[in-house]
Structure 1
Amino acid sequence: MPDATRSAALGVFLKPAARVAAGGLGIGWAAAILAVLLAGGSDLRIPAQMWLVAHGSGLVVGEAQIGVVPLGLTVVAVALVALVAHRVARREIADLGPFAGAVGMIYGISAAILSAVTSTDDVMTSIPRAAIGGLLVGAAGSAAGAGWRHRATFAVGEVPALLARGAGRALALVLGVSLALILVLLGLHGQRAADMWGLLDPSLGGAFVLALACLLSLPTLVVWAAAVLVGPGFALGTGTTVDLTGSYLGAIPGFPTLAAIPAPGPFPPWVFVLGLVLPAAGIWCGLATPRVRVGAGAGAIGGLVLGLLMAVSGGGIGPGRMVEAGPPPVMPLIVAVLILAATGALGSLLAHYRGRRASRKPSESDRFGLGRWLQSPGTD
């Protein structure tokens, strides 16, 4: 390929990729700066570090290590990149992979540089985690935004579509039930949440930022509730656990949305019914297709995504006993993949059996022996 042609081909996706990365970075930093100013802060390194934490960089403040990925902020970061990509990618993109990869590389390198520049002896963020998180956020957001704008260009095969549909069903049911549980518990423990808010005593601007932080913390709590439905549960301090058997915790941080966590003690026996949510999600996933292997694959994909969400949602949230919080990193993933794959295959078997019965079901005329009399006459 001549140099001029190669340069033109690279420019087709490098220029818009750079614009998408710059737009996502600029809007994200501006939003973080606004939040810090409303809260009364003045150090410009704080917005940058907050933006990096949203991308999974973690944060070390003295002896306190914050390793939890705030999934709500991560979703916002992906959505911002997707919106910019949807607007920038006006021309048809022939190959979505190089475009998303270029955005991810630029985004990840920028996050790594920002992490190195803003880290001090007292407050540090992880450069490798910032680079990997930025790469994933930039690639996922740009692929979603540009792919949706040019969705008519990219044809999806039947099997990938069935896999995505089945996995989406499983995730929607598990996370939907988890969200309902969190909202119900917040409603039941509203006075406790109000007391925690009062102890923090935020200013007017701080109240807005605290309300936003509470809203953005809900996705993490939903994933933790899903870990309870899967089985292993989650911890909120060393040696603590919340699972289907009960809540065995000590003192918890005074953050309002943590009021949704049940009071310490064993749960009533009926709570074990919630353990049926995961198998039910797998069966509903498999009912999307009568192909057993596709149903099992869709369930496995749904379990993998669910397990990865649980893995990244855990980590330290403070010093001392708070170095352990969230679900364990590996066990929920294994349990979710195995159960959803097995029940997904079962759901596909049920769909296959239902389809065969429907194809063999006689019509009303056949039941009375009138089928051959009501047939259209032949040429004879």
Structure 2
Amino acid sequence: MSPVTPDRPRRQGAVSADDRPVDSATRARRVPAPRAGGSPRGRAPLPVAAGVAAGWAALTSYLPVAVVLGLVQLGTDSSTLTGTLRTALAGWLLGHGVPLRTDGGPLGLAPLALTVLALWRLTRAGVHVSRAIGARDSRSPRRALLAASAVGIAYALLGLLAAVLVGTGATEASVIRAGVTFAVVGTLAALVGATRITAVTRLLVAWLPEPVRDGVRTGLVAGLLLLAAGAGAAGLAVATGGGDAADMIGAYRTGVAGQAGITLVSAAYAPNAAIWSTSYLLGPGFAVGTDTAVRTSEVSVGALPAVPLLAGLPRGPVDGPGALLLAVPVLAGMVAGWLLARRMARLAGPERSPRRWAELLAPAALAGPVAGALLGVAAVVSGGPLGAGRLAQVGPVGWQVGAVAAAVIAVGALIGAAATRVLTRTPAPQTNPR
């Protein structure tokens, strides 16, 4: 009888008790069933998720305002912590497009840098709430809208509270206007993040016809290129007038901290200046007060407030080499048309026949209205009153900017797309006769 060897290695092909096949019932008990839309253990109630996300978005967009205005008021002996926080709350409301009522008249010129920050945080809030309710990659428009609406409602409550707190001081804000504005802004911004994280954006893109997708893409590219050109022109103008801007900052007599705060406040209005500069390049220009105009053909301004950002205003009409600035909008459209033609040629491939002219020119023509709508809305939100006096009208006229941009970008995109196709067309291969 052979001795028993318990440590003997298992023979090749042998099956242990753990490797034996099990029936479906046993496997179902061992392996948990997959859960659609994420794990229920990681989900949070919708009101809780929306409240936390909206509160965090509000806090992260409010704190920079409080810090900047705290620096501005640091050199003021009469400033208190409560007053600084209340003033920062008023600036936070203004950044969302809620006008303020002051002793000097209405104040409605929103600092768009703060607006962009708030919109970005609200977009992230839509993403976080969609994840919390298990709607990630669900492709459900209903759940995306549900998450965005919850964020909008929570954000509207915060706007109402902010308007009530601001009203206890010298500055006032309409509580109803604040609630409605915050609800609309919060819902729309959160909807952008919610549709992206739930993959609803893919459904919308797939639903649109291909010429519409190409036209929207080209119009957005052209509009952003023109805004970038406007930002560059505004930065160059402010740098050229840097001496005047430094004198204006020094005239406030607020110390180093206060001057740093004033510089940051001016930087918060830098996007406004970029949009105004874009309107200047397009031709309609903008106003810095009632019965004033800043255009390439005319500069008519009166006494201006000591704002460093206004140090870069042109002194007179454009002449000489400066007239080349008038070609910038057309060049932006041509670049967008060139990118459109190159992309369509790349997707077609060398083995396929060239696309018809209509398939190329239709998106190029659609780019004009898309860019016009983008720049028109930007012009509207970039302006507003700075009091009840002669500064009651500041900024460009939205419909004028939109109409001119639509026409100029459409012409430029058509020229760029057509020229690119003509210059890069490859001759059809010829067959050698036998």
Q: Which residue of 1 aligns with 2:290?
A: 238
Aligned to 1:205: 257
Structure 1 match to 2:24: none
Q: Deviations over 1:174-209 (max 9, x none)?
A: 111111111211221111111111101333432332
1:180 and 2:232 aligned: yes
Moved more, 132-141 or 53-62: 132-141
- Aligned positions, number: 356
Shift of 1:301: 1.3
Residues 1:93 and 1:26: Cα distance change in structure 2 (over 3 Å): farther
Structure 1 Cα separation of the partners of residues 330 and 178 of structure 2: 36
Write out aligned runs for 1:183-198 (5 A).
183-198=235-250
* Residue 134, structure 1, aligned to residue 182, structure 2: yes
Q: 1:30: which partner in 2?
A: 63
Q: Is the 8 A contact 1:57 1:127 kept in 2?
A: no
Paired with 2:178 and 2:404, the residues of 1 have a C-alpha distance of: 29
In the alignment, which residue of structure 2 is the partner of 1:5? none
1:306 and 2:375 correspond: yes
Are the counterparts in 1 of residues 212 and 363 from structure 2 also a CA contact under 8 Å? no
Shift of 1:214: 2.0
Letter of the 2:62 counterpart:
W
Alignment match, 1:317: 386
Please tell me whether residue 64 in structure 1 is matched to residue 105 in structure 2.
yes
- CA apart distance, 1:46: 1.4
Relative to structure 1, the CA distance from residue 209 to residue 316 in structure 2 (aligned partners, 3 Å threshold; closer, same or farther) is same
Q: Which of these residues, 21, 30, 46, is aligned with residue 87 of structure 2?
A: 46
For the 8 Å contact 1:314–1:329, the answer to whether it is kept is no
CA contact (8 A) 1:285 1:299 kept: no
What does 1:246-325 correspond to in 2, within 5 Å?
246-263=298-315, 265-287=316-338, 288=340, 290-325=359-394
Per the TM alignment, residue 152 of structure 1 is displaced from its structure 2 partner at its CA by 9.5
Q: TM-score, normalised by structure 1?
A: 0.81
5+ residue gaps, structure 1: 1-7, 376-380
Residues 137, 197 of structure 2: 8 Å contact kept: no
- Measure how far apart 1:317 and its partner are: 1.5
138, 151, 167: which one aligns with 1:119: 167
Equivalent in the alignment of 2:114: 73
Is the partner of 1:154 in helix, strand or coil?
helix
Distance 1:83 1:128, change over 3 A: same
The alpha-carbon deviation at position 137 of structure 1 amounts to 3.4
CA distance in 1, matches of 2:137, 2:177: 30
**Equivalence for 1:17:** 50
Q: Where in structure 2 are the equivalents of 1:140-151 lying within 5 Å? A: 140-147=188-195, 149=197
Find the residue that maps to 1:244 and give its secondary structure: coil
CA distance in 1, matches of 2:175, 2:398: 21
Quickly say closer, same or farther: Cα 1:132–1:274, change in 2 above 3 A: farther
Tell me: CA distance 1:66–1:16, structure 2 relative to 1, closer, same or farther (3 Å): same
Q: Percent identity?
A: 26
Helix, strand or coil: the match of 1:238? coil
Partner residue in 1 for 2:153? 105
**Deviation of the 1:292 alpha carbon:** 2.6
> How far apart, CA to CA, are the structure 1 residues paired with 2:50 and 2:365?
36
TM-score scaled by structure 2?
A: 0.72
Unaligned runs of 5+ in 2: 1-39, 342-358
Whole-angstrom CA distance in 1 between matches of 2:195 and 2:118:
17
Deviation at 1:100, TM superposition (A): 2.3
Alpha-carbon separation, structure 1, partners of 2:334 and 2:153 = 39
Looking at structure 1, the residues matched to 318 and 201 of structure 2 have their Cα atoms a distance apart, in angstroms, of 52
Structure 2 CA distance for partners of 1:228 and 1:153, relative to 1, 3 Å:
closer
Superposed displacement of residue 245, structure 1: 1.4
SS in 2 for 1:173: helix
Letter in structure 1 aligned against 2:326: G
Bigger radius of gyration among the two: 2
The alpha carbon displacement at 1:15 in A equals: 4.6
Structure 2 CA distance for partners of 1:285 and 1:59, relative to 1, 3 Å: same
- 1:104/1:136 contact within 8 Å kept: yes
Are the equivalent residues in 1 in contact too, given 2:219–2:368 (CA < 8 A)? yes
Letter in 1 for 2:190: S
Query: How big is the shift at 1:107?
Result: 1.7
Offset at 1:324? 1.4
Q: 1:111-139 CA distances to partner (integer Å, 9 max, x unpaired)?
A: 14422442258422244543344234323
CA distance in 2, matches of 1:136, 1:160: 27
3-state SS of paired residue (1:317): coil
Residues 244, 271 of structure 1: 8 Å contact kept: no
Question: Do the aligned residues in 2 keep the contact of 1:311 with 1:327 (CA within 8 Å)?
Answer: yes
Which of 145, 169, 183 does residue 221 from structure 2 map onto? 169
